[in-house]
Amino acid sequence: MIAIIQYNAGNVCSVRNALQRLGCESVVTDDPRIIRKARKVILPGVGEAASAMRYLKEKGLDRVLVCLEQPVLGICLGLQLMCRSTQEGNTLCMGLFDTEAERLPQQGRVPHMGWNNFEGLRGPLFEGVQLSDDVYYAHSYFALPCDRTVAVCRYIVPFSAALQRDNFYATQFHPEKSGGVGEVVLKNFLKL
């Protein structure tokens, strides 16, 4: 069973639909017992960092998440919440990735919204994905590239399109909304 973490504003529904289209059953939950037992865990992300982090803390899920040993995938805001901190609401995050999320500088249109490709693809998430493939982004904050960066996207600045450390994976783009390419990434995660 795949556990999708339920939190106040997360767009859990699209992740669940995407998994369903891949023939994969999932449960949307904020129950630590179910999350610990799940085969894989997804932290989706549509929302605002400070309130999302507050909710995770209230439920004690921040501590549950960092201790998980099964594959975990953070998406969009989920990626930022897995960093040390984010400028959005000056929020202290879970620190799974040793980098920070900042606001995209206003030298271009913010939010970064739409289909963009990436470079420097590494690791199992991107098996079968080409550099010229486009995926869907919708975000105003980004994680600075670091040694855990496994894909880089360029929009105004280069930023982490994906991060990975041990069993923790995260994408700034939305694989659940990225058509066929997104399905490949999700399938790769499900295969781990």
- Tell me if residue 21 falls in helix, strand or coil: helix
Q: Does 9 bind another protein (CB under 8 A)?
A: yes
Told to check if 46 binds another protein by CB under 8 A, we report yes
Say whether residue 48 binds another protein (CB under 8 A).
yes
176 an active-site residue?
Answer: yes
In the annotation, is 174 catalytic?
yes
d(CA 90, CA 123): 31
In degrees, rounded to 5, the angle at the alpha carbon of residue 160 between the alpha carbons of residues 159 and 165 is 155
The residue written with tokens 């901190």 in the block is: 85
Q: In the complex, what is the shortest distance from the CB of residue 141 to another protein, in angstroms, rounded to a whole number? A: 9
Q: Is 124 helix (H, G, I), strand (E, B) or coil?
A: helix
Q: Tell me which residue has tokens 């023939």.
A: 23
Are the C-beta atoms of 118 and 131 separated by less than 8 Å? yes
Q: Which is nearer to another protein, 11 or 167 (CB)?
A: 11
Residue 148 binds another protein (CB under 8 A): no
140 forms part of the interface with another protein (CB under 8 A): yes
Q: Based on the shown chain and the rule CB under 8 A, indicate whether residue 63 belongs to the binding site for another protein.
A: no
Q: Which helix (H) or strand (E) holds 76?
A: none
For the bound state, the minimum distance from the C-beta of residue 14 to another protein, rounded and expressed in Å, comes to 6
Among the listed residues 1, 39, 114, 128, the single contact to another protein using CB under 8 A: 114
Catalytic residues: 76, 174, 176
